[in-house]
Amino acid sequence: MEPQYISTPFGRRSMTRGMLTSQESASKVDPEASVDKWKIFRALCEAKDIVGVSDRALAVLNALLTFYPKNEIAEANGFVVFPSNEQLSLRTHGMAGTTLRRNLAMLVEAGLIIRRDSPNGKRFARRNGEGGLGEAFGFSLAPLLVRAREIEAQAAQVMAAKLEWKRLRERLTLCRRDITKLIEIALEEEIAGEWIEMQKHFNLLSASLPRRPSAAEMESLLADLEAFRELIVKTLESKSKTEKTDANDNQSGRHIHNSNPHPISELEPSFEPKQGAKPEEEPRPWREPPKSFPLAMVLQACPEIIAYGPSGGIGSWRDLMAAAVIVRSTLGVSPSAYQLACDVMGPENAATVIACILERGGHINSAGGYLRDLTRRAERGEFSLGPMLMALMRANGPTARKTG
């Protein structure tokens, strides 16, 4: 098919597919339909990036709309406006002619206006026999009416995205503030813990956010920070409970000492153990397993275990524990060693330790022996899972991924 041409003051121009589509759509205008010109213009300002027009082009469209005699764009009011370039330049605050023509072309290409050229390329309107406007040559605003719902939907989409971006930004700000205050409290009150390391990790997480982040980047960082905040809260709660328990034990010891002035050795005869006999072992004190860390934090620190989950993914603690059983067998950890770890640490934390061992597999010679050693230390209250997770988070967190 031979290309079609339109006549303009600057010569003949080929008609693009987009212009043909706009003209075809404009020919199907509902005679009863109408739209407020300023309402659709505001929607366009919101959706400009989706539609594909610049601020300058919108300024030219705003000037064109000022020449439309009514507020409602409708077939009954006509669609064509026909200002000269000089008039348009005045209403765009002195925009240069070349810039004006370039932005008019952009509006045409975007399918927001249609050229209605006269034979000589001039813009004007003929009067009809009744003294009103008859045939007009200039720019038709019919596409704005035809595409009104589409443009309004795009504007709503952009506004929803902006609100979501703002909501994520606010949540990030609050989460950062909480973490800063919690670490400051821990340092001021000299609570035992790796608070300086946590402060460094927090600074690295915060620095990983770009200057103008996307919603996805903020959502990813927010998940990391919320998991980190939960870790800090759990650490503070654990230290607080330990201090209360120690204080209660000290008070109980003083009370027993003061209320019983006669020691048992004075009231009952003493029995010395026979030569070579082993003293009877004291029963091991039962210790409540520590609370588990957030699953999101565990998976961030130990991503390798995800492949062992049901259907190749982990979405719950049950999935992680199922994956840990498979990894336990793969690493050569005996069922008895893993069961003891579950009894002492709790099943969630035992599964987390297995995930950590898998992550550090190249640095551990005997996974079974390492797990038994950690279990014994945990039983004595000498092992905390937090530092291990923190080290792996630093190795596998967003800052490591960014620099890797």
Enclosing H/E stretch for 65: helix 55-66
Q: 3-state SS of the chain: helix, strand, coil percent to 5?
A: 65, 10, 30
DSSP secondary structure code for residue 355 in this structure: H
What's this model's pTM, rounded to 2 decimal places?
Answer: 0.54
Q: How many CB atoms are closer than 10 A to CB 212?
A: 6
Q: Coil, strand or helix: which one is 363?
A: helix
Tokens of 7: 């006549």
Amino acid at 118: S
For every one of its 404 residues, what pLDDT tens digit does the chain have, with 9 covering 90 and above? 344 444 444 344 445 555 555 555 555 677 788 899 999 999 999 999 999 999 999 999 999 999 988 899 988 888 888 888 889 899 899 999 899 999 999 999 999 999 887 766 677 666 665 555 657 778 889 999 999 999 999 999 999 999 999 999 999 999 999 888 888 888 877 777 788 888 888 888 888 888 888 899 999 889 888 888 888 888 777 766 665 555 455 555 544 444 444 433 333 333 334 444 444 444 444 455 566 777 888 888 899 999 998 888 898 888 999 999 999 988 889 989 999 999 898 899 999 999 999 988 778 888 889 999 999 988 888 887 877 887 787 777 554 555 44
Q: How many CB atoms are closer than 10 A to CB 46?
A: 18
